[in-house]
Amino acid sequence: MITTVQVELGPRSYTIHIAPGAIERTGAILQPLLPGGRVLVISDATVAKLHGKRLLGALQSAGIDAVQETFPAGESSKSLTQADSLWQACAKHRIDRSGAVIGFGGGVSGDLAGYVAACWMRGVAFVQVPTTLLAMVDSAVGGKTGVNSAAGKNLVGAFHQPRAVIIDPDLLRSMDDREYRAGLAEVLKYGIIRDPEFLAWQESKAGALATRDAATVAHAVAVSCRIKAQYVAEDEFEHGARAQLNYGHTFGHALERETRYTTYLHGEAVGIGMRMAADLGARLGVLTEPDLGKRQDELLRRYGLPLVHVAAGSAAGPAADPAAVARVLAGHCSLDKKVRKSRARFVIPVKTGEVVLREVADPALVEAAFLSAIASR
Ligand code: GLY
């Protein structure tokens, strides 16, 4: 059975198709949606090796003229240099305005391929076929595309909505365990920010989710996509409500930056960041549900995610002072993308299913929130 979720964006509306084995149906789903020209599938070399033939076969058997280009796996490929190589590939394969690009892979592939599609010939049709949990529940939906630059992560990009998102949860079986668990942080996020029922469901299914029970995972993906689709429909260009999706992210980005993107997977940093955001909510007197933090902690634990940032000293020196680390991390927040008029904005929980955006002027409060989830080694 195929589950569909509609992203309502007027003439740019599209459907998210979710079903075990959906990859085999990609050609049949896309055939009526694409302009009819050649399709370029973009994926990293690992995904191409694992699943590339199946996707190309499914496209070709529906009569779609499809070719594939790969790039080296890893965040460093999300660059203008890599995008330029792919634009050259577009030229080599004669992708014109009747053509299309498919981003096939995790967040890096989707963001990079989407940006390539957004700019090539000033925009060609684009499709997302995500292969990681994080991409299925978050980055493949909503049209954010882009690359990293010397100016920072995710600062260069374009909104370019896909014509369709095709999700085959069976592909998650081959995913690295740590990466899979990191994706569960975003699933938890949706329960906290928007849907108390989904949070309670996760509490009853955490074991099955952590061990990737197929039906449980498919349900979690569908509900997450439904929530993400609501935010995107409400606020496509993130002028307001969509920013709520950044719950835990301002803290998480500071942790990622401070550890030079080498210690945490994005979801892991976001998980710790959600704890810090709940702490900040309590300090500000905004959080009205004392239980929320405990429930969040318990699910993070059951998903096998880290609960604290360990402030490690150098091999030669003593362990770092957590208060000093918190001060440095709070400093990073004023440089985060969500900063307006130099005041950091945080997504703060009010109660399960409700969050607010708050500017926090007092750096001591932010430091204290960081400190609440920092341990010294
Ligand atoms: N990942 C957050 C958003 O798409 O808005």
For range 5-13, the mean pLDDT: 98
What ranges in 235-265 are assigned the alpha helix state H? 249-258
User: Is it the case that residue 4 has pLDDT exceeding 70?
Assistant: yes
Report the C-alpha gap between 127 and 26 in whole angstroms.
10
User: Is it the case that residue 151 has pLDDT exceeding 90?
Assistant: no
> What fold characterizes domain 177-375?
Dehydroquinate synthase-like, alpha domain (1.20.1090)
The pocket around ligand 1, CB under 6 angstroms, is made up of: 138, 142, 144, 238, 242, 245
Q: Which long-range contacts (CB under 8 A, 24 or more apart) does 361-366 make?
A: 363/330, 365/280, 365/283, 365/284, 366/280, 366/330, 366/333
Report the C-alpha gap between 159 and 243 in whole angstroms.
15
Indicate the pLDDT class of residue 376, thresholds 50, 70 and 90: confident
Q: Is 372 helix (H, G, I), strand (E, B) or coil?
A: coil
The catalytically annotated residue of 266, 309, 332, 345 is 266
246 is catalytic: yes
Q: What would the two tokens of residue 293 be?
A: 């933090």
Q: Which residue has the higher pLDDT, 342 or 132?
A: 132
Let me know the angle formed at the C-alpha of 172 by 170 and 178, rounded to the nearest 5 degrees: 160
Same fold: 3-174 with 177-375: no
Looking at residue 181, its pLDDT comes to 98
Q: At what angle do helices 266-284 and 249-258 cross, to 10 degrees?
A: 130
pTM of the predicted model as reported, rounded to 2 decimal places: 0.95
- The dotted CATH code for 3-174 is 3.40.50.1970
Q: Which of 242, 247, 336, 337 to mutate to test the pocket of ligand 1 (most atoms within 8 A of CB)?
A: 242
Q: How confident is the model over 51-78, as pLDDT tens digits?
A: 999 999 999 999 999 999 999 999 999 9
Looking at residue 333, its pLDDT comes to 84
For range 254-260, the mean pLDDT: 92
Give the number of other CB atoms < 10 A from CB of residue 54.
Answer: 15
Atom of ligand 1 nearest to the CA of 245: 2
Q: How confident is the model over 158-193, as pLDDT tens digits?
A: 999 999 999 999 999 999 999 999 999 999 999 999
Q: Is 199 helix (H, G, I), strand (E, B) or coil?
A: helix
**DSSP per-residue codes, 42-85:** EEEHHHIIIIIHHHHHHHHHTT--EEEEEE-SSGGGSSHHHHHH
Domain edges within the chain: 3-174, 177-375
User: Is it the case that residue 280 has pLDDT exceeding 70?
Assistant: yes
User: Is it the case that residue 50 has pLDDT exceeding 90?
Assistant: yes
CA 92 centroid distance within chain: 31
Which residue has a Cα nearest atom 2 of ligand 1?
A: 245
Average predicted confidence (pLDDT) for the chain = 94
Backbone dihedral region for residue 191 (phi beyond 0: left; psi -120 to 50: alpha; all else: beta)? alpha
Using a pLDDT cut of 70, give the percent of the chain over it: 95
For range 1-26, the mean pLDDT: 97
CA–centroid distance, 140 to ligand 1, in Å, is 9
